[in-house]
Structure 1
Amino acid sequence: MRLKKVWLNINGVDRIMVCNPEIDTLADVLRRIGLTGTKVGCHAGQCGACTVLLEGKPIRSCVKKIKNVPEYAKIVTIEGIGTPQHLHPLQQAWITYGGVQCGFCTPGFIVSAQGLLDINPAPTREEVRAWFQKHRNLCRCTGYKPLVDAVMAAAEVLRGEKTMDDITFQLGEDGKIYGTHYPKPTALSKVTGLCDFGDDIGMKMPAGTLHLAIVQPKVSHAKILKIDFSGAEAMPGVVKVITAKDVRGTNRATFPQEHPRASCDGKIKPIICDEKIFRYGDVVAVVAATTRDEARAAAEKVVVEWEELPAYMTALESLAQGAQQIHAETSNIFLMNRVVKGEDTRKIIPGAEYVVEGSFHSSREPHLVIEPDTMQAYWDEEGRMTVQCKSQTIHVHKNSIAEGIGLSPEKIRIIENPTGASFGHAMTPGAPALMAVCAMALDAPVTLTMSYSEHQAFSGKRAPSYTNARLACDKEGRIVALEYDMVLEHGAYPEDATKLVDKAVRFIGNPYHVPNINGIVKSALSNHSFGIMYRGFGSPQCYTSSEALMDMMAEKIGMDRFDFRYLNIARPGDLTVNSYPYREYPMQEMMDMMRPFYKEAVAQAKAESTASKKRGVGIVWGGYHVGGLRDKCEIELELNPDGSITHYNSWEAQGQGADIGTLAHTHEALRPLGISPDQIKLVQNDTAITPVTGPAAGSRSHYMAGNATILAAHQLIAAMRKPDGSYRTYDEMVAEGIPTRYKGISDTIDSTVLIDPDTGHGNASPEANYLLMLMEAEVDLETCKPRVLSVKAISDIGKVGNILAVEGQAYGGLSHSIGFALSEDYSDLKRHSTLQGAGIPNILDVPDKMEYIFHETPRARGPHGSSGCAEGYQSVGHMAVINAIYDAIGVRIYELPATPDKIKAALEAKERGEELKPEKYFLGADFYETLDYMENNLVKK
């Protein structure tokens, strides 16, 4: 190896370093000398997380070879922009205007913005957006709007038009932070680049830590004949190659399937494949070496011999006549549920005045986080196998990997690293199980950072759906019946299929009054990526069919789409599709608020359409449920000697606001004590020291942790209160023998009802949220490329706990929805292995014109009147896009994503007087035969 000495001027100081000029990138060098504020996500120059200034110009340092950087070149990293004690206006603006969610992309954006303001101190919003597009700065969390807001505010300070105080949040006279724009407490560390994410921690592990590299054969279904790792073991630095034989437990990561109709137990996913490969991305071996480069080089030398088996890459293939079982333990359809409401639709629909029907497909949407999977494992000081990772459900993972790795849960500790977002993919136990297995086999600390293509293949995706559905109305336009047959393709492994089916039966037809329903939801296997939770879990697949049918029916009747929905929304006394009352009935008031905006948008779209660019408007209803059945949540509050309060919880922080949610709830609940926000300390997400708060999923955390916080606060305040109404100090509490730490426990036992597996009746969540969305889109008839122009939405999530956090979820959810509608997919295993290849929206793909209006119906059971919000904001936006496209050009896209080639084909068919739509899907059996089968094979006989 030939090395080179290099001098660089970094953040104003000349520094010397020794590099490998042929291999090292500028990002490698900067991170190696401790400047880990420069993040590396894609390692392909696609995401901009690694942006630094080179001679004043933004460059993507992960693809800039050090040999191409001139000697003494001036480099500016995030650490050179400002410090926690002396923030740059950009950093303060990022904090104040909600620019920080997960924070992984934040340093790259701030550095890029600095490059813009250095040459253009007074940019327009359009120029800011064009700059980030040009320099490939990607954000998956924020929807970009808050980032532009921050740049505009910082520019005003730099021009002397505002002061730093003007762009810094100020507490009101009442000192209240609940319901305000109070910034996230973790934002400071992220805008300064001082927050250590997973790979940063991996770089800073102690001597003796081994680096891992995974072996993923490029085949989707095969019998393993032999694994030859002799060549890998002979490579420099290699310590061991770990295979299934080294796993001490059952080698199965468990995700229990608790549904009575499930035909498998959830224990069929290998941690390391032993006999078969079930999907592209399965791990068959892991190489451990003294450096990352050595491990990765050796992994290339592992030779896997296999016998290829039939690979069913969609549920349509795995359910076709003659398809073989993918898993010996279960048929390819392994779970079914149904909804039966009112009278038999078979008697109603044939005589209905109006009937529309169609077949609809939603794609395998990848989460497309900017930070790939990265984690560490080691034995801790008390002999527990400790895994630090992205886990979105740390206490569940501790239990679900125990049997598979061969340890009792008490001997396992899970810690959530600062996380570069997840959106649900970190619900799988596969990653922490793999790390624990390797650390145990090596009896040494280990660290693993996957490449982006490895992460894409390894991680789960949103389960695709195939739905045949039809809707019937009477002559007045009132809905009389709904039928649907849906298959959720769960890929190679069941994972969370039970929960997904439970969600799916609750959204087709929501939030309308549908008196008569026959519906079936099935879970099916394929040899593609497994289904896993994703924000909006289960609802986007449902709204893909139901919100298309609503527009189709309105057109058939000759009614305005808004008026048709207004006529059919649920009103007090109407029942949900699951035959229970809605938790709230804000629908009519929300539509009354939206009506003038809708009329204005329709008129504007018509007026601004041209011969080459047609504009249209989409209107949709969505929303989600909050929490679940038998849900339970624990938090603890402790009074400290200095009078401060420590809040302990396991509200996993994925960037969605676990920090500000905890702080806001605690501060509001402890208002009688008069403490300030900085007197509240947060200790979160370590199974050894934080209680079981539950998964950060299902829009439950704000609701459940908030109620638990109130209960703990009541106990603490009561214990501190003296007979005269004043409050005891810590020393007085100790002197009187009064405990200083209290646990709050909230549950949903009395507020939820199990979804009946025979009828679909039930009310399995304590609360719900509601979303009415209006979207304007444009289609370029020359390129057939659609573009979203503006969004106005009205949501009801109860009282808003933190405006920045909620708006962040709304904007971010919208950007995902636009991607889901137009570009995102993970079907092509090669083309979709990168961020750009899989269709992540860039800043110019997301409108800058976004407005979310809050219709606040206080929740009687909700903490401080709040509900939960995240899932609802990504439930239905994709169908606002699809409906707007139809309104613009008169063609409906039935199968997502609505790419230009599909739009072009549909327009060409329209010119021929045809409609391009899929044939009715064969979903394993005839719909009515399946209904009869389920009726004759009731669970509760």
Structure 2
Amino acid sequence: MKLRKMTLNINGADRMFICDPEKDSLAAVIRRLGLTGTKVGCGTGVCGSCSMILNGKVIRSCTKKMKTVEEYSTILTIEGIGTPNHLHPLQVAFMNRGAVQCGFCSPGFIVSAYALLQENPDPTREEVRDWFQKNRNICRCTGYKQIVDAVMAAAKVMRGECDIEDIKVKLPENKEYYGLPLVRPAALAKVCGVCDYGDDIELKMPDGVLHVVMVQPKVAHHAKILKIHTEEAEKMPGVYKVITHKDVKGSNRLNFFQFSPRCLATEQTHILLAEEKIFNYGDIVALVAADTKDHAREAAAKVTIDFEPLPEYLNYLEAAMPDAMRIHDDHPNVWSEQPTVKGAGHDTPELFDKAPHVVEGSFYSTREPHMPIEGDTVQAYWGDDGFLTVHCKAMCIYANIGDIAEATGVPAEKVRVVQNPTGATFGWGIAGATYSLAAIACLACDDMPVAFSMTYSEFMAFSGKRAPSYTNARLACDNDGKIIATEWDCGLDHGAYNELGDDLTWRPARFMFFPYHVPNALGLTRVACSNHAYGTAYRGYGSPQAYTASESLMDMMAEKLGIDPFELRWRNIARPGDLNINSFPFVDYPMEKIMETMKPYYEKAVAKAKAEDTPQKRRGVGIAWGGYNVTEGTADQCTVAIELREDGKFVKYDTWQDQGQGGDVGSLQNTLEALKPLGVSIDDIVLIQNDSKHCPDSGSTASSRQHYMNGKTSKMAADMLINAMTKPDGTFRTYSEMVAEGIPTKYEAQYLNPSDPDLCDLDPNTGVGNPTPDYTYAMFLAEVEVNTTTGKTTVIGYTCVDDVGVIGNIDSVNGQAYGGLSHCIGFALSENYDDVKKHNNILGAGIPAIKDIPDDFNIVHVVTPRAKNPFGSSGASEAFQSAGHMAVINAINNACGVRIYELPASPDKVKAGLDAISKGEKIEPPKKYFLGSDFYEEMEYIKNNPV
């Protein structure tokens, strides 16, 4: 190794350092100098999180080798733009315009925007978008609109057209904070680049920490392991240990939960370090621990395996065939199912025979990758408090403790989980696999502290994905377009492992044809394992698969009847007295109000599409209904604590895990509202969150549950504290007075969903049930342009009208809306993780850039206060990623007559449809999926064999 001494002018000061010019990237050097505001996400120059300004030009520093950097060059990083005590207008604007969610990409965006405003101090919104597109700044959280809002606001300040105070959120004197766009407590650190994410924490750990990397052979999707060769790796410099399954003291598996009585799985199939078989391409056969990450990676490359190939079943349809071998010994490949029987139920075939109008088809939704800009980095060590401590991207801290305990054999009461500042997960963070692997490595290395990390391509291969769906479905309507009956057979490809798979079957069983009045239904949702990436939680969990079929059929029926698709939906939305698909009330019925609000937007979009349609650029409008449940169901609980401190401040303890959605500001606003009788202000609240040593179990950040559940529980804890503080004369005791009187100053409360008498699980034989206390509702409208030469679809406008109850923080809700809808657009047009080599990074997997998302982006909130929440709030996240993709798919058909039955609607698929139409070919809906047994025979079997 030959090193070079260099000097660069960094943020105005000359800095001398030593580097390896051949190996070191500029990002690596800058981060080694302590300037960790420069984040490295993809590591391949396609995400822009590492943006810095080199000699006046924005560059992506993770791929800029030091040998190409001239001596005495000038560098500007986020730390040179503004500090917490001296903020730049861009940083203020990002904080106050909702442009910071997970915040991992924020420094890169701010640096890039700084360069833009130096070059063009008065840009248009489209010029801002063009700049971020050119410089490849990618955000997965925000949907980009609020970022552009922030740049435009900062530009006004920099031009002297307004004062910096004018772009800040104004706080009311009356302390009515609920609903306001309060700035997130974590936003300041994020916009200044001083928020330490997983890689930053690893870089700043003490000497002696072992660096751990994975060994993924990536030689097969399914194989018998004959031998793992570690001998050469063990001889490599700096290697402490090569860890295999033989070194694991625990079960080497995560916890197994059976959710459904119709689950045939009897044990956890997610083996962490492969034992006898490879089950999918991303499986890990070993971990290498070494003194440096480079040494660990060099050694990992020396680990090889001898293997015997086994049949590979890369999707549901292959795994469900009668002659397919069992992937897992303990259960068949199709291993759980949930029926839905309503009204005529098993007699619905007779209704279809008599119905005047029937549409049917087969529909596929993709294996969607989550694609956060930050991958996954985990630290594990024994703390001086005696706990095995794991720092990670947890979104379900107490469940993850159970996973780690099960995998390692360490008692759960000796495990501590701390959520690191998290660059988003969108659901995959609920799985405890990497957290458990880090703990396994720590124990296997003689209790040495470890930092476990992976490249982005390793992360893509290892992490779970949205389960693909294969659905055969049909819909019957009368001459007026009113729904008579529906049937569906939905197969979910849950990949290599079974965790949460039987729970997933409940979602299509609940959201097929939501929120319409369907008097008669016969449906079956099945789940199967395959040899592809395992299915895991993803925003909207299970509902996009349902809406892919049902919202296609609604449009197909409208087309068959010659009825406007908006009108058909208006005739069929549920109204008070109508029951949902599971034979219970919808709780609230805001559907008419939502459609009345949407109607002028729809009419305007239709008129615009007609006026601007050309043979080369076809314009179309599509709509879709969506929505989602709130809370995890009948077993859900939330626990929080509120404490009066000696200095008069109130400390809130909870595990509202912030994945970027705003768990900090959500907890803050719930606490402010709960303590409002005391006249508290923002500065009176201290948040202690997401550390199991100090915080009670508030449940997972999933199922749109946290705001609803945390609000209920915060009110309970606050009332307990307020009652304790209240004197007989109605005034309030101080901390010292409470201590003097022997009155506790800290109160913990728990709310239990089982205490709600209205709730019940889905019946495993009929699907009748009411598992959750609330819903969110959303209607989507997409405006698209289809290039008939290439088949490329561009979304040029988007509107969403929702009802999520009373809004706690308007910027946070809007951020979830814009972000979720940007995922929907990607899901519809480009996102896929099918080809494990092509789709191994965010670019190859189809992440939308800023010009793929429209700036004509409208979010309209209808507010129906929820009776079961003390603040009238519901959930906010997952409705926005439920059916939004189908508005795009329906708009494509409206534009050019091509209906896409299998996502994504890539240009080649659209072009093939256009070519077929030009030849006069009639395109019939496909009817082709075999899901493991005949639908009617399976439903008859379930009927005759109840559980």
TM bucket (normalised to shorter chain) is over 0.9
> Counterpart in 2 of 1:853?
860
**Partners in 1 of 2:86 and 2:519 — Cα distance?**
62
CA contact (8 A) 2:789 2:911 kept: no
Residue in structure 2 matched with residue 15 of structure 1 by the alignment: 15
- Tell me, in whole angstroms, the C-alpha distance in 2 between the residues paired with 1:862 and 1:910: 52
Q: 1:522 aligns with which of 504, 521, 526?
A: 526
Who is 1:553 aligned against? 557
Paired letter, 2:314: M
Q: 725, 733, 753: which is aligned to 1:728?
A: 733
In 1, are the aligned partners of 2:372 and 2:425 still within 8 Å (CA)?
Answer: yes
1:893 match? 900
* Aligned 8 A contact 1:813 1:874 in 2: yes
The partner residue of 1:813 within 817, 820, 829 is 820
**Do the aligned residues in 2 keep the contact of 1:703 with 1:863 (CA within 8 Å)?**
no
> What does residue 841 of structure 1 align with?
848
Question: Quick check: 1:550–1:565 contact (8 Å CA) kept in 2?
Answer: yes
In structure 2, what is the equivalent of residue 298 of structure 1?
Answer: 299
In the aligned structure 1, how far is the partner of 2:673 from the partner of 2:927? 55
Aligned to 1:914: 922
Residue 151 of structure 1 aligns to a residue in which SS? helix
Q: Do structure 1's residue 283 and structure 2's residue 284 form an aligned pair?
A: yes
For residues 346 and 687 of structure 1, the distance between their equivalents in structure 2, rounded to whole angstroms, comes to: 53
Q: Distance in 1 between matches of 2:483 and 2:173?
A: 51
The residue aligned with 2:247 is 246
Residue deviations 1:554-608 (CA, integer Å, cap 9, x gap): 1111111111100000000000000001110111111112112211111110111
Match of 1:686 in 2: 691
**C-alpha separation between the residues in 2 aligned to 1:842 and 1:770?**
27
1:575 alignment partner AA: L
Larger displacement relative to structure 2 (670-679 or 819-828): 670-679
Contact 2:574 2:591 in 1 (8 A): yes
| 1:89 pairs with 2:89 | yes
> 2:680 matched to which residue of 1?
675
Residue 445 of structure 2 corresponds to residue 461 of structure 1: no
Q: Is 2:931 aligned against 1:923? A: yes
* Larger deviation, residues 392-401 vs 347-356: 392-401
- CA–CA distance in structure 2, aligned partners of residues 106 and 401 of structure 1: 32
1:396 CA drift (Å): 0.6
The answer for the alignment partner of 1:391 in structure 2 is 394
Following superposition of structure 1 onto structure 2, how do residues 583-622 of structure 1 map, counting pairs within 5 Å? Answer: 583-622=587-626
Render the CA deviation track for 1:263-314: whole Å, top value 9, x for unaligned: 1134121111111010011110000000001001110000111111111001
State percent identity of aligned pairs.
Answer: 55
Give the superposition deviation at 1:914.
2.2
Alignment of 1:112-131 (within 5 A): 112-131=112-131
Gaps in structure 1 of 5+ consecutive residues: none
Counterpart secondary structure, 2:532: coil
Q: Is the 8 A contact 1:906 1:916 kept in 2?
A: no
The correspondence of residues 304-315 of structure 1 with structure 2, limited to 5 A, is 304-315=305-316
TM-score (norm 2): 0.98
In the alignment, the residues of structure 2 paired with residue 863 and residue 538 of structure 1 have an alpha-carbon distance, to the nearest angstrom, of 29
**Paired position in structure 2 for 1:173:** 173
Give 3-state SS (helix, strand or coil) of 2:505's partner. helix
Partner of 2:428: 425
Task: Give the root-mean-square deviation of aligned CA atoms.
Answer: 0.9
Q: Secondary structure at the match of 1:505?
A: helix
Whether contact under 8 Å (1:789, 1:847) holds in the other structure is yes
SS of residue matched to 1:476: coil
Task: Kindly provide the amino acid, as one letter, of the partner of residue 704 in structure 1.
Answer: M
- The 5-angstrom pairing of residues 757-906 of structure 1 reads 757-906=764-913
Give deviations 1:531-569, integer Å, cap 9, x for gaps. Answer: 000000010000000000000001111111111100000
Residue in structure 1 matching 2:404, options 401, 409, 414: 401
Letter in structure 2 aligned against 1:282: D
The residue number in structure 2 matching 1:140 is 140
1:169 Cα offset (Å): 1.1
Shift of 1:916: 6.0
Q: 1:190 matched to which residue of 2?
A: 190
Q: 2:943 maps to which residue?
A: 935
Post-superposition offset of 1:917:
4.5
**1:498: Cα distance to partner?**
2.3
Of residues 462-471 and 899-908 in structure 1, the stretch that sits farther from structure 2 once superposed is: 899-908
Please report how far the alpha carbon of residue 200 of structure 1 lies from its aligned counterpart in structure 2 after TM superposition.
0.3
- Could you report, residue by residue, the CA deviation over 1:473-493 in whole angstroms, capped at 9, with x for unpaired residues? 112211000000000100000
Query: Which residue does 1:273 correspond to in 2?
Result: 274
Distance 1:387 1:715 in 2: 33
CA distances 1:808-855 after superposition (whole Å, capped 9, x unpaired):
000000110000000000000000001100000000000011111111
The SS at the match of 2:514 is coil
Q: Counterpart of 1:699 in structure 2: which amino acid?
A: S
1:176 Cα deviation from its structure 2 partner: 1.8
Distance 1:672 1:714 in 2: 9
Structure 2 unaligned regions, length at least 5: none
2: distance between equivalents of 1:220 and 1:678?
Answer: 54
* Aligned-partner SS, 2:620: strand
Local SS of the residue matching 1:378: strand
Deviations for 1:916-940, whole angstroms, at most 9, x for unmatched residues? 643420111111111111111110x
Name the SS of the counterpart of 1:864 in structure 2. coil
Query: 2:237 aligns to what SS in structure 1?
Result: coil
2:662 is the counterpart of 1:657: yes
What SS does the aligned partner of 2:747 have?
strand
Alignment of 1:151-170 (within 5 A): 151-170=151-170
Deviates more, 1:746-755 or 1:824-833: 746-755
Structure 1 counterpart of 2:306, one-letter code: E
Q: Which runs of 4+ in 1 moved over 6 A?
A: none
Letter in 1 for 2:575: R
1:633 pairs, out of 626, 631, 638, with 638
Shift of 1:254: 2.0
Which has the larger displacement, 317-326 or 35-44?
Answer: 317-326
Give a deviation string over 1:238-262, Cα, whole Å, max 9, x none: 1100000000011111231231111
Q: Does residue 1:563 correspond to 2:567, yes or no?
A: yes
Contact 1:364–1:461 (8 Å) recurs in 2: yes
Do 2:178 and 2:673's aligned partners in 1 also have CA atoms closer than 8 Å? yes
Q: Which amino acid aligns with 2:677?
A: P
Q: CA deviation at 1:753?
A: 1.1
| Secondary structure of residue in 2 paired with 1:574 | coil
> Deviation string for 1:716-742 (max 9, x for gaps)?
111111111111110011001000000
- Asked if the contact 2:266–2:331 (Cα under 8 Å) also holds between the matched residues in 1, the reply is no
Cα displacement (A) at 1:347: 1.5
Q: What is the CA-CA distance between 1:856 and the residue it aligns to? A: 0.3
CA contact 2:400–2:417 (8 Å) conserved in 1: yes
Name the CA distance, whole Å, in 1 between partners of 2:350 and 2:494. Answer: 33
Could you list the per-position Cα deviations for residues 92-149 of structure 1 after superposition, in whole angstroms to 9, with x for gaps in the alignment? 0000001100000000000000000011000000000000000000000000000000
Q: Match for residue 44 of structure 2?
A: 44
Which deviations, in whole Å up to 9, do the C-alpha atoms of 1:368-398 show, x marking residues without a partner? 0000111100011122211111111010111
Report whether the alignment pairs 1:333 with 2:334.
Answer: yes
* TM-score of the superposed pair, with normalisation by structure 1: 0.99
Q: Secondary structure at the match of 2:236?
A: coil
Q: Could you say what secondary structure the match of 2:510 adopts? A: coil
What is aligned with 2:34?
34
Cα distance in 2 between the residues matched to 1:551 and 1:266: 42
The code of the aligned residue for 1:302 comes to V
Distance in 2 between residues matched to 1:754 and 1:289, nearest whole Å = 49
1:418-453 deviations in Å (ceiling 9; x for gaps): 000000011112111111110000020000221000
Question: Of 377, 389, 411, which residue of structure 2 is paired with 1:374?
Answer: 377
| Distance (Å, rounded) in 2 between the aligned partners of 1:228 and 1:589 | 65
Paired position in structure 1 for 2:449: 445
State the SS of the aligned residue for 1:487.
strand
Any conservation in 1 of the 2:738–2:745 contact (CA below 8 Å)? yes
| Counterpart in the other structure of 1:756 | 763
Q: Which shows bigger deviation, 916-925 or 866-875?
A: 916-925
Kept in 1: contact 2:8–2:74 (CA 8 A): yes
> Is the 1:905–1:916 contact (alpha carbons within 8 Å) kept by the matching residues of 2?
no
Take 1:400 and 1:119, find their aligned partners in 2: how far apart are those partners? 51
Determine helix, strand or coil for the equivalent of 2:368.
Answer: coil
